[in-house]
């Protein structure tokens, strides 16, 4: 059975597929960092039964052209980002995916951004590394050389931050990423509360996190972290009205998706100093425009969509996908599939046999 792999993959897991009898062809983003065009993808899929992608778009046209295709795997949290799930379901092709593949990476990055915005780390690094603004400060009349000036306007007073310990973190969305953020936040001594109407109460209990309604989370939190998926119900959920509920001393962090948030309202509350600050890794349009208003704000930390970018992410998603393909090869069902009913019918009709 032939498989096309365009995702970044751990060689050890590709070897597991080869040892199980699959003939592997690699191409596209996983090989050279460049996505295949639709025409190139169609040509590559011509004789393949399985496709494992990460960023290449599996459109209706691409899927329909692959006459031998039986199974798709998308190495992402949300396979609908680049796979036509509706069409795949219509023609009976199961789509595997990798929920939580970057949960650890995003959680660690979220904590880094919390610290960065609370302690002014990026601002002071930039001033010290690229300007003379902070090196011009001196301890006049002092023989000590181990400290900057303590005078008004000196770094010690100008960039005084706030501690995480004893504060409250509100997490919006309590799936794999939200849960990983919570465990790390607790290590910093943060009290953690969260909003997720779709998550089981038992999960909250096991994590030691209080489940509250959105408005309650927002009003009680000193830090807010977005960790929800984008759905018709969650799009724009953090609206202008919700921002007005935040404490003036609170910080807002978004390492999830920009579509969850009214960014115009966020700009307004930041520019009016109605909240203390924000740290963002995602934007309504990416790359962030050179003339973006967000770049004019002094109380913001900006990052170019890096929260999920670690060397280990491909190791995580490789194991997930290969584990599931090998289970399906045996005729067994798996949980990480976009439509369980499609998979059930697929297995009943013979699966990969």
Q: What span, in angstroms and rounded, lies between the C-alpha atoms of 51 and 97?
A: 12
Exactly one of 119, 158, 184, 305 is catalytic; name it: 305
Exactly one of 286, 312, 327, 341 is catalytic; name it: 286
76 annotated active-site:
no
Name the one residue in this structure whose structure tokens are 């306007």: 153
| Contacts of range 262-267, beta carbons closer than 8 Å, 24 or more positions apart | 262/236, 262/238, 263/294, 264/240, 265/239, 265/240, 267/293, 267/294, 267/297
257 annotated active-site:
yes
For residues 271 and 105, is the Cβ–Cβ distance under 8 A? no
129 annotated active-site:
no
**HEC sequence for the chain:** CEEEECCCCCHHHHHHHHHCCCEEEECCHHHHCCCCCHHHHHHHHCCCCEEEECCCCECHHHHHHCCCCCEEEECCCCHHHCECHHHHHHCCCCEEECCCCCHHHHHHHHHHHHHHHHHCHHHHHHHHHHCCCCCCCCCCCCCCCCCCCCCCCCHHHHCCCCCCCCCEEEEECCCHHHHHHHHHHHHCCCEEEEECCCCCHHHHHHHCCEECCHHHHHHHCCEEEECCCCCCCCCCCECHHHHCCCCCCCEEEECCCHHHECHHHHHHHHHCCCCCEEEECCCCCCCCCCCCHHHHCCCEEECCCCCCCCHHHHHHHHHHHHHHHHHHHCCCCCCCECCHHHHHHHHHCCCCC
Q: What span, in angstroms and rounded, lies between the C-alpha atoms of 95 and 80?
A: 10
Exactly one of 76, 257, 316, 317 is catalytic; name it: 257
Which sequence positions are flagged as catalytic? 257, 286, 305
């Amino acid at each position: 059975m032939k498989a096309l792999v365009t995702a970044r993959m751990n060689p050890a897991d590709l070897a597991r597929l080869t040892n199980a009898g699959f003939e592997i062809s690699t191409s596209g983003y996983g090989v050279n960092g460049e996505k295949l065009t639709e025409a190139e993808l169609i040509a590559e899929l011509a004789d393949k039964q399985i496709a494992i992608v990460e960023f290449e778009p599996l459109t209706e046209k691409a899927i329909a052209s692959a006459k031998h295709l039986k199974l798709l795997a998308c190495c992402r949290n949300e396979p609908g980002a680049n796979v036509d799930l509706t069409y795949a379901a219509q023609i009976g092709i199961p789509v595997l995916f990798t929920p939580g593949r970057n949960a650890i990476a995003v959680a660690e990055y979220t904590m880094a951004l919390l610290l960065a915005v609370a302690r002014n780390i990026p601002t002071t690094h930039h001033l010290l590394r690229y300007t003379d603004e902070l090196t011009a400060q001196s301890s006049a009349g002092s023989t000590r050389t181990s400290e900057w000036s303590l005078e008004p306007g000196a770094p010690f007073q100008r960039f005084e931050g706030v501690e995480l310990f004893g504060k409250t973190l509100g997490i919006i969305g309590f799936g794999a990423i939200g849960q990983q953020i919570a465990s790390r936040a607790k290590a910093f001594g943060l009290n953690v509360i969260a909003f997720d109407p779709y998550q089981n109460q038992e999960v909250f209990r096991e994590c030691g996190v209080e489940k509250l309604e959105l408005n309650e989370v927002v009003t009680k939190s000193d830090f807010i972290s977005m960790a929800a998926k984008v759905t018709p119900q969650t799009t724009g959920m953090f609206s202008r009205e919700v921002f007005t509920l935040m404490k003036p001393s609170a910080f807002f962090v978004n390492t999830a998706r920009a579509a969850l948030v009214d960014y115009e309202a966020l700009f307004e509350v930041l520019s009016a100093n109605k909240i203390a600050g924000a740290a963002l890794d995602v934007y309504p349009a990416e790359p962030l425009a050179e003339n973006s208003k967000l770049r004019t704000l002094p109380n913001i930390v900006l990052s170019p969509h890096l929260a999920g970018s670690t060397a280990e992410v491909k190791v995580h998603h490789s194991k997930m996908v290969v584990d599931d393909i090998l289970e399906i090869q045996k005729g067994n069902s798996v949980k990480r599939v976009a439509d369980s009913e499609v998979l059930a019918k697929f297995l009943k009709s013979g699966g990969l046999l």
